[in-house]
């Protein structure tokens, strides 16, 4: 088991080895979303000008086989991160989210 310093509310690892966490830093929508890149934790959208800042916080997290993550905010809104770290909003709402080995996204408690 590899141990990392820091605290998180949730951690997910993609089949590609990517590591994502929902941190403990409270913000709109939940808590900060972080990805470990080259040994450094980076918040999502940190390098993308003009991105929707509402997506920097979430309460639930899932990571697909290729390392892209999807999130659920505290209001139930769902978004998925693209390979270039931008967020695409999905239709509907949910309480939890999962991504299958084929990349299919599943939402619990949604409409």
- Please provide the DSSP assignment of 44-74 as one string: TTTT-TT--GGGGEESEEEE-TTS-EEEE-T
pLDDT value at position 104?
92
pLDDT digits 0-9 by tens, 43-60: 886 444 555 555 678 999
pLDDT digits 0-9 by tens, 62-110: 999 989 999 999 999 998 887 777 778 888 899 999 999 998 999 998 6
Q: Hunting for tokens 């916080």 — which residue is that?
A: 57
User: Residues 9, 1: contact at Cβ < 8 Å?
Assistant: no
pLDDT value at position 47?
47
- Measured CA to CA in angstroms, residue 105 lies from 5, 25, 50, 53, 86 at distances of 30, 26, 26, 23, 17
All structural domains of the chain with their residue ranges: 10-108
Torsions phi, psi of 55, nearest 5?
Answer: -85, 10
User: Residues 66, 31: contact at Cβ < 8 Å?
Assistant: no
User: Residues 61, 73: contact at Cβ < 8 Å?
Assistant: no
């Amino acid at each position: 088991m590899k141990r990392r310093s820091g605290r998180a509310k949730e951690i997910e690892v993609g089949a590609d080895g990517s590591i994502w966490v929902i941190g403990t830093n409270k913000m709109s929508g939940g808590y900060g979303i972080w990805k470990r890149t080259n040994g450094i934790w980076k918040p999502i959208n940190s390098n993308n000008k003009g991105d929707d800042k509402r997506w920097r916080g979430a309460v639930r997290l899932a990571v697909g086989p290729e390392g892209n993550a999807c999130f659920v905010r505290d209001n139930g809104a769902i978004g998925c991160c693209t390979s270039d770290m931008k967020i695409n909003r999905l239709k509907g709402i949910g309480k939890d989210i999962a991504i299958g080995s084929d990349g299919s996204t599943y939402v619990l408690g949604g409409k």
